[in-house]
Amino acid sequence: MGVSKQIKNSFLLLSLFSTFVLQGQKLTAFKIYNEKGKKVTFKRMIKDLSKQEIVLFGELHNNPIAHWIQLELIKELDKKRDLTLGAEMLETDNQSQLNQYLAQEIDQSGLDSLARLWNNYHTDYKPLVDFAKENKITFVATNIPRRYARMVYRKGFEVLDSLPSKEKQFIAPLPIAYDPELPGYKKMMKMMRGHSNPNFPKAQAIKDATMAHFILKKYYRPNLFIHFNGAYHSDFYDGIYWYLIQQNKNLKIKTISTTTEAEVKKLEDIHQKRASYTIVVDEDMTTSY
């Protein structure tokens, strides 16, 4: 055997060995768990979600796995049900501009200039909106315009009473229900310890109430409404979920949450009962910003 052939064979063996080592590592980017902490497949989750009325998909805003699963999820559910989509990332006073884009009356540059889009819109949310456009699916802008949330943070709910009727159409009907003892809002106050502002959780609550209001306003049977929001807006059946149930306790709602861990092979105790389904992503996964 010539030297060149020996070298070639050595490289081939090294390549095969490397492949076997990588396969042995079983690199896993994420796992899905149900409310009881049991691993479930994406297919099993889809089967369950297809039977619901509303799904709240709680994401980590900069997590690419969550955004990828969101797109795959609506593709699969669209095969089983007529869908309505909605998102925290689009504000209610930009609904007309969003409708123009969905109807192809303006292009992407038009939407960019007319609507207030998040910095990561093009990488993380445009695929969802474009899927809706291509498949003629209603997409609802559900979040309160940020200027009103800032007003609540500074001066409380009462400041909204002075808004003109034209502007009140973009928020949940006043007065909104508010329970400061909800775990999510209490946690926010603990986070602010030392810099306490009792209006901090109220600013969160007006967002939650507004998103719930516009979900219900645009929800109609037999469609399945899928809503995308930060996980903290629906974790532990709080936030948006709570406001939805206040309006209709008989709604069939399932929630999804996203979290990161060093080890995805089991659901840590702190995440138990966080949501109907929790997506655990390897914490080494790159982020979109």
pLDDT score recorded for residue 8: 47
- Render pLDDT for 71-107 as a digit per residue (tens, 0 to 9): 999 999 999 999 999 999 999 999 999 999 999 999 9
Whole-number percent of the chain with pLDDT over 70: 90
- Residue 228 forms part of a structural domain: yes
- Is residue 284 situated within a structural domain? no
**Domain around 56:** 35-265
- 258 vs 274: CA distance, rounded Å: 9
Contact 226, 138 (CB under 8 A): no
Q: Is residue 168 part of a domain?
A: yes
Asked, for residue 10, whether it belongs to a domain, the answer is no
69 three-state secondary structure: helix
Q: Is residue 220 part of a domain?
A: yes
CATH number at residue 244: 3.40.50.11550
Answer whether 114's CB lies under 8 Å from 97's CB.
yes
Q: What share of the chain is helix, strand, coil (3-state, %, to 5)?
A: 50, 15, 35
Q: What are the pLDDT digits (tens) for 36-59? A: 999 999 999 999 999 999 999 999
Number of domains in the chain: 1
Assigned domain for 49 exists: yes
Position 200 in a domain: yes
pTM given for the model: 0.90
pLDDT at res. 197: 84
Q: What is the CA radius of gyration of the chain?
A: 22
Residue 279 belongs to some domain of the structure: no
